[in-house]
Amino acid sequence: MAMVSTYCPQFSGLRRSCPKLDNSQSQCFVQHINSQLRLSSSSRKPCRAVVAMAGSGKFFVGGNWKCNGTKDSITKLVSDLNSAKLESDVDVVVAPPFVYLDLVKASLTDRIEVSAQNSWVGKGGAFTGEISVEQIKDLGCKWVILGHSERRHIIGEDDQFIGKKAAYALSEGLGVIACIGELLEEREAGKTFDVCFQQLKAFADAVPSWDNIVIAYEPVWAIGTGKVATPEQAQEVHVALRDWLKKNVSEEVASKTRIIYGGSVNGGNCVELAKKEDIDGFLVGGASLKGPEFATIVNSVTAKKVAA
């Protein structure tokens, strides 16, 4: 899109200054600004509100329930989510354990999409214990989480295998929440960017299109530890990832692809994280098991809205 080539990051609070625009460029620039403006439906203030996002994608919040829950607790969680008041300007997705996907899909409001937590690398068949993309789709799920650190580091999935899974899921029409992130020792050794770029490259090498991918940056040291990355730490990596996409894929993909943060996000820290312009949402583990707290995290999108 021509619009992308005249992308002026400064408008939405990015680091670079805006180049001088000629006439046709300024027309595109205006279109771009319009696409960046989102009127706040919930705000009663008379002034307009602007979404401070470096990317152009809609805020995205996923709840990863992992290997938690029983029929009873999941029924309660679904009922809490069904009655929660959620801001409209957010894509909301939850990922229950496989065995409860059908139950959740059948009882959860259509406002919230359902994701699987993993999928088999190709077409289903004689693969004992695996769940195929076809089966996930058959239940009405729209997304799958791939490359989660618990699968990389506990189960031992490698970059190439994860890339193949992503390519297959996308080819069958599922959206992919593509997780990447460094271990504590890698951060301490100054390798955060190298590790994240390598994991991102494995996805980039495998997938034909980025239309249906959300990137989840999840530093492993922050997952389930209560040690959340500071907003500055997260923002620093998100900017670098967007720049990597710009240089290695395209400017359009860099702008459109949501880069969400995961790792000890909760109702208390989500607002400060959401204010960072390259943080396009969250992937939430522990706190997504509590309906009201998950709703608070979804609604942190309002922190993106600043008086114009």
CB-nearer residue toward ligand PGA: 14 or 228: 228
Cβ proximity to ligand PGA, 210 vs 261, nearer residue: 261
Letter for the amino acid at 65? Answer: W
Does 264 engage in binding with ligand PGA (CB under 6 A)? yes
Q: Least distance (Å) from ligand PGA to the CB of residue 156?
A: 17
Q: Residue 29's Cα: distance from chain center in Å? A: 26
Q: How many CB atoms lie within 10 A of CB 64?
A: 26
CA–CA gap between residue 52 and residue 295 (Å, rounded):
21
- Per-residue contact flags (x/-) with ligand PGA for residues 214 to 243, judged by CB under 6 A: ----x----xx-------------------
Candidate segments 126-134, 201-209, 235-243, 257-265, binder of ligand PGA by CB under 6 A: 257-265
Is 222 within 8 Å of 228 (Cβ atoms)? yes
Determine phi and psi for 195, rounding to 5 degrees: -65, -45
Q: Report in angstroms how near the CB of residue 213 gets to ligand PGA at its nearest.
A: 16
Q: By CB under 6 A, is residue 186 in contact with ligand PGA?
A: no
Name which of 52 and 177 has its Cβ closer to ligand PGA.
177
Does the protein bind ligand PGA through residue 263 (CB under 6 A)? yes
Q: Does 262 bind ligand PGA (CB under 6 A)?
A: yes
Distance CA 124, CA 106 (A): 23
Which residue type occupies 8?
A: C
Span 14-73, contacts to ligand PGA by CB under 6 A: 64
The string of DSSP letters for 93-140 reads: EEE--GGGHHHHHHHS-TTSEEEES---SSS-SS-TT---HHHHHHTT
What is the C-alpha to C-alpha distance for residues 222 and 229, in angstroms, rounded to an integer?
6
Q: Is residue 281 at the binding interface for ligand PGA, with CB under 6 A as the rule? A: no
Q: Which is nearer to ligand PGA, 55 or 62 (CB)?
A: 62
Least separation in angstroms between CB 263 and ligand PGA: 5
Of 213, 283, 298, 301, which one interacts with ligand PGA (CB under 6 A)? 283
Q: Based on CB atoms, which residue is closest to ligand PGA, 68 or 135?
A: 68
Q: Which residues are catalytic?
A: 148, 218
Q: How far is the CB of 155 from ligand PGA (least distance, A)?
A: 14
Tell me how far apart the alpha carbons of residues 10 and 22 are, in angstroms, rounded to a whole number.
17
| Segment (H or E) for 261 | strand 259-262
Dihedral (CA of 54, 59, 60, 63) sign:
positive
Locate 202 and state its tokens: 């494995």
Q: Are strands 281-284 and 305-307 parallel, antiparallel or unpaired?
A: unpaired
The residues binding ligand PGA (CB under 6 A) are 64, 218, 223-224, 262-265, 283-287
